[in-house]
Amino acid sequence: METAYVAVLSFLFLVSLHALLRRRRSKASSGGKNRPPPSPPAIPVIGHLHLLQKPLHASLARLAARHGPVLSLRLGSRAAVVVSSAAGARECFTEHDVAFATRPRFPALELATFGGATLSTCPYGPYWRDLRRVATVHLLSARRVGLMTLPASGAVAAGARGAARRLHRAAAAAPGGAARVELKRRLFDLILGALMEAVAGTRTSRDEADADTSPEAREFKETLDAMAPLVGAANTWDYFPVLRWLDVFGVKRKIMAAVRRRDAFLQRLIDAERRRMDEDECSGRESEKESMIAVLLSLQKSEPEIYTDTVIMSLCSSMFSAGTETTATAAEWAMSLLLNHPEVLKRAQAEIDASVGTSRLLSAADVPGLGYLQCVVTEALRLYPAVPLLVPHESAADCAVGGHHVPRGTMLLVNAYAIHRDPAAWADPAAFRPERFEAGGAAGATEAALMIPFGMGRRKCPGESLALRTLGLVLGTLIHCFDWDTVGGAEVDMAEGAGGLMLPRAAPLEAMCRPRRAMLGVLQKL
């Protein structure tokens, strides 16, 4: 026992001595000109991990308030810098965009992302450029987004029809004719249905008469729920190699079990689309629609060494994981804000009625013309970005941020949540005011304001256009087809949950819902 105790103390002493000598060497080499960012007191071995609480973005915002908008932390074996100002973010992703274009390696995340081979996690270099080209040219160009959202409109319409039928039954049995619904799972199923139609060319197989959630939605959400707490910047397993070697908590086993289920799900979609394309080719039929998987399989025929099934799965995984949970979370926060601001909801509803009417459903093609609805979406993303800390970056070269020296190999965390609520940049930053984004809006922002819910620079999310179109379509459909109210007339609690990479609500949103009388004829005909 004494031998083990002495060994632990010796190890801690050596780690502390190494950190002290490294800091002194850094100061000596810089000559005091390039000072490191300010840093709170650290503890040997664990560094500053003891200061981080969930939700992580709020914890980092509190540290930034005490130590400054550019802050250095030691997270176990990793050095990190946290940027919480618009000026710092602009500097990182403009002047030093190439230096911060790569990603840190997280062993847990690599297990879940085909060895770090997805578009959002792979290192900066030729492979990333190839994936980015495929995404921007073949999958997420303006033309492709338009083609993909056309069938998505049908999937959302089908979801609205199923919701209307269930709500009719529930409302008939409820006092006052309004049904109490939990929105998150319905939003997830609605969005997954739209993405399944656009990405895989197939609709979810929910029996609309009997089920709230499709088997596909349940299966995919279970894999996401299993992986979410095990991967990302907040997972301590990635900061202490000894935890990975011993794997006392079975993290690797849990991740791999979820990965196997997800990969089987994706492989079924790819195989089904490959069979359909082969049948069409044999019969000489031309497909009326071309899914994202079909595009990738066509590219695979000409360049099989590049477009392998693994690459196709990684791109599909990115689309589903980035497009379902994050979009559903953003829509849930937007509905929470609308329920607490019924005047905004009524104005958005009136805009849709004036533009679309009540004789048909809202379509994806209508969304770009709904200016106020887009302001609502933008303001909701400002207050509650689905990913409050941008996906971590890593410095590939020494650089300076805010006058502070950032060494090569430092992980960069950008607090979008704090930047979106900076009182120096936004008038009344905590208030929900969609009007601030209208042309000439009096409730706007200063020139220093920065909106980065999808990131910034060359690693910015290429699916921004599709995500905004899907979010507008889903949110607009809910507003167009149904009347909404809070449960018991009480204000919706806006408390934030702990989450991981994302920003969930502390409690799932519940609301009172009834089909709009003006839309009953349309809904009944679907």
Binding residues: 461
Provide the pairing of β-strand 393-394 with 411-414.
antiparallel
Closest to 194 in 3D by CA, of 455, 385, 477: 477
Is the bond leading into 55 cis (omega within 30 degrees of zero)? yes
3-state class (DSSP) for residue 75:
strand
Distances (CA, A) of 348 to 50, 369, 392: 45, 12, 35
- Rounded to the nearest 10 degrees, the angle between the axes of helix 464-481 and helix 309-323 is 40
Closest to 331 in 3D by CA, of 511, 187, 161: 187
Q: Are 446 and 426 in contact (CB under 8 A)?
A: yes
Q: Are 476 and 354 in contact (CB under 8 A)?
A: no
Q: From the CB of residue 123, how many other CB atoms can be counted at a distance below 10 Å?
A: 16
Give residues with Cβ within 8 angstroms of 296, minimum separation 6: 134, 138, 139, 307, 311, 312, 315, 316
Sheet (strand 78-83) strand order? 70-75, 78-83, 411-414, 393-394
What is the identity of the amino acid at 239?
Y
Alpha carbon distance 508, 183 (integer Å)? 7
> What are the start-end ranges of the E strands in 139-262?
179-182
Closest to 453 in 3D by CA, of 401, 503, 393: 503
Alpha carbon distance 42, 39 (integer Å)? 8
Residue 418 sits at φ, ψ, to 5 deg, of: -65, -40
Q: Which helix (H) or strand (E) holds 474?
A: helix 464-481
Alpha carbon distance 518, 298 (integer Å)? 44
Binding residues for heme, as ranges, are: 461
Q: From the CB of residue 149, how many other CB atoms can be counted at a distance below 10 Å?
A: 24
> DSSP secondary-structure letter at 235?
-
> What does the block give as tokens for 84?
């919480």
> What does the block give as tokens for 90?
């602009």
Q: Are 52 and 61 in contact (CB under 8 A)?
A: no
Alpha carbon distance 359, 64 (integer Å)? 52
What is the identity of the amino acid at 299?
L
Distances (CA, A) of 33 to 20, 36, 79: 19, 9, 20
> What does the block give as tokens for 218?
């349940």
